[in-house]
Structure 1
Amino acid sequence: MLRFGTQMSRLVALNMQTVCRIPSSRNTQKLITRKMTQQRSPVDWNTSIPTKAAKDKDKIAPLGWFLLLIPATTFGLGCWQVKRKIWKEQLIKDLNKQLSTAPVDLPEDLSDLTQMEYRLVKIRGRFLHEKEMRMGPRSLIRPDGVETQGGLFSQRDSGNGYLIVTPFQLADRDDIVLVNRGWVSRKQVDPETRPLGQLPAEVELTAVVRKGEARPQFTPDHKGGIYLYRDLARMCASTGAAPIFLDAVYDAQAAKNGPIGGQTRVTLRNDHLSYLVTWFSLSAATSFLWYRQIVKRIPF
């Protein structure tokens, strides 16, 4: 009996130890919650919610908006050059069209010719061959409009020569005007080489109204009685002519014995294509830099 009691005591003690080793469900829940809390990464409240300082940092400063004027201005200049290009091309077409219209009589007031450049006019009178001048060197413009190759250092007589500018005494008035009779080769520069083209008789011809030229950049001064450009002031001073310059049109009969007419060039600068490409390129480049530096704040 005593032995049975001892065994029962040992069994009860063993069960009590087992019960103590197993935590209660409540303690188990607390333990699991504590472990999950420890494994979860801490929340950075400073980065998840933007502060006022961070918002102000993202704003574009007034200087940034002011710098936006650079790409905007260059873009506007590019658009303006597009309009200028269209206008200049149309003007060149109109001037070329005037060269094929019917000629008009020379106006009574010669000053009106300053507003009639590239217009065809009819004149009658005689050439003052003793006062003729040379202008060049120039290449020949053939009747079909093709310009032959020739220049200052070219030795080919077929493409290199001079323009003969001769004072022209008008028949119905006392005025003298300057007429570009046309092109001659180097071999025919001297009047003695073309005597059949130096007749003093009265003639009637059609010519194109031209204006004087300003001295081109890097162009030297006239030398040896040869003019490098249409310097009306000096030409008129040496001949006593009015400041009127005319280009004689092509005449097949006159070209056989004298200068070849029809040497008019429509010389209007048309660089607007290069200008608009330049302005639009600058606009694109500065727009990219503005977006990179001001908006994205990407350093170089």
Structure 2
Amino acid sequence: MAEAQPRARGPVRKILAALVWVAALATLLSLGTWQVQRLAWKEKLLADISERRTEEPVTLEAIEAMERTGGDIEYRPLSVTGTFDHDKERHFLATWNGQSGYHVYTPLLLADGRYVFINRGFAPFEKKEARTRGEGQIAGGQTLSGLAREKLDGKPSSLVPDNDISKNVFYWKDLDAMAASTGIAPANLVPFFIDADSATNPGGLPVGGVTQFEMPNNHLQYALTWYGLALAMVGVSGVYIWRARR
């Protein structure tokens, strides 16, 4: 009887090993399939963005109506008229063509008394303060065109620093915090941003048209990696079983 226990443990180990092998293979295959699905999603997203960018600009009211009904407003062209309130501009840490600095977000006062934050473009570190680029602080009524950009629901990652509101330095685009720090009430705020187009600002700053359209799309590479690992595991296991039987 004492010898039966070690012999019984042998089949149990084989069953457990087989279950672990099947679970590992299923995990690798599911990860590969998920990346294939993500690839299809990313390609459709990039195609949609490319198509939207070529559409004729619509009014701010049309974008607002779309946003209220749950429509996707991201990257949709529009035009808007108002007056910049340069004293309330906010600064988002960014880079442009290899240079570090800020994107200048300035609230545009609309005829109905509301504000919409406009990403006017890029200014280098030494031109952060509005007084250093006075030519670009255009006054009076302005009509500009750009792209609608949805506001973020929260910090994109725990690795992103908290916004330094006291120094007017934003590490992520928190529209509500930007507005609150300038005294703009939520009821007077359009609930999305606008990226201004590349029209030249007086004095050349801020540099307009800084919207980034390129997105990382490595899903095919990831899918091939997971499927490759699954294939390698099957191959190694097959060789092991073949040698064991010989």
Bin of the TM-score, shorter chain as denominator length: 0.7 to 0.9
The reply on whether 1:248 has 2:196 as its aligned counterpart is yes
Find the aligned partners of 2:208 and 2:63 in 1 and give their Cα distance: 26
Q: Any stretches of 5+ residues in structure 2 without a counterpart? A: 1-13
CA contact 1:68–1:290 (8 Å) conserved in 2: no
1:1-300 map, 5 Å = 66=19, 67-68=21-22, 70-107=24-61, 110=64, 112-113=66-67, 115-136=72-93, 138-140=94-96, 148-149=97-98, 159-171=99-111, 173-213=112-152, 214-223=155-164, 224-239=167-182, 240=184, 241-252=189-200, 254=201, 256-266=203-213, 268-293=215-240, 295-296=241-242, 298=244
Superposition CA RMSD, Å: 2.7
CA distance in 1, matches of 2:122, 2:38: 34
Do the aligned partners of 1:132 and 1:166 also contact (CA within 8 Å) in 2?
Answer: yes
Q: The residue matched to 1:296 in structure 2 has which SS? A: helix
SS at match of 2:126: helix
Contact 1:68 1:287 in 2 (8 A): no
State the 1:251 CA deviation. 0.3
Larger fraction in strand: 2
CA distance in structure 1 between the aligned counterparts of 2:175 and 2:33, rounded to whole angstroms: 37
Pairs aligned (count): 219
Identity of aligned residues (%): 30
Query: Aligned to 2:113, what secondary structure does the other structure show?
Result: coil
Distance 1:269 1:281, change over 3 A: same
C-alpha contact (below 8 Å) 2:135/2:203 kept by paired residues: no
Counterpart Cα distance in 1 of 2:91 and 2:76: 24
Displacement of 1:135 in angstroms is 1.0
* AA aligned opposite 1:189: K
- CA displacement at 1:165 relative to structure 2: 0.5
Larger Rg: 1
CA deviation digits over 1:110-144, x for unaligned, max 9? 363362101111101111111111111x222xxxx
TM-score by length of 1: 0.64
CA offset at residue 82 of structure 1?
2.5
Distance 1:111 1:124 in 2: 17
Give the match's secondary structure for 1:281.
helix
SS at match of 1:194: helix
Structure 1 unaligned spans of 5+: 1-60, 141-147, 150-158
| Distance (whole Å) between structure 1 residues aligned to residue 124 and residue 193 of structure 2 | 22
CA deviations 1:141-166 (Å, max 9, x no partner) are xxxxxxx21xxxxxxxxx23211111
Report the alpha carbon displacement of residue 192 of structure 1 after superposing the two structures with TM. Answer: 1.5
What SS class does the counterpart of residue 173 from structure 2 fall into? Answer: coil
Opposite residue 298 of structure 1, the aligned amino acid is A
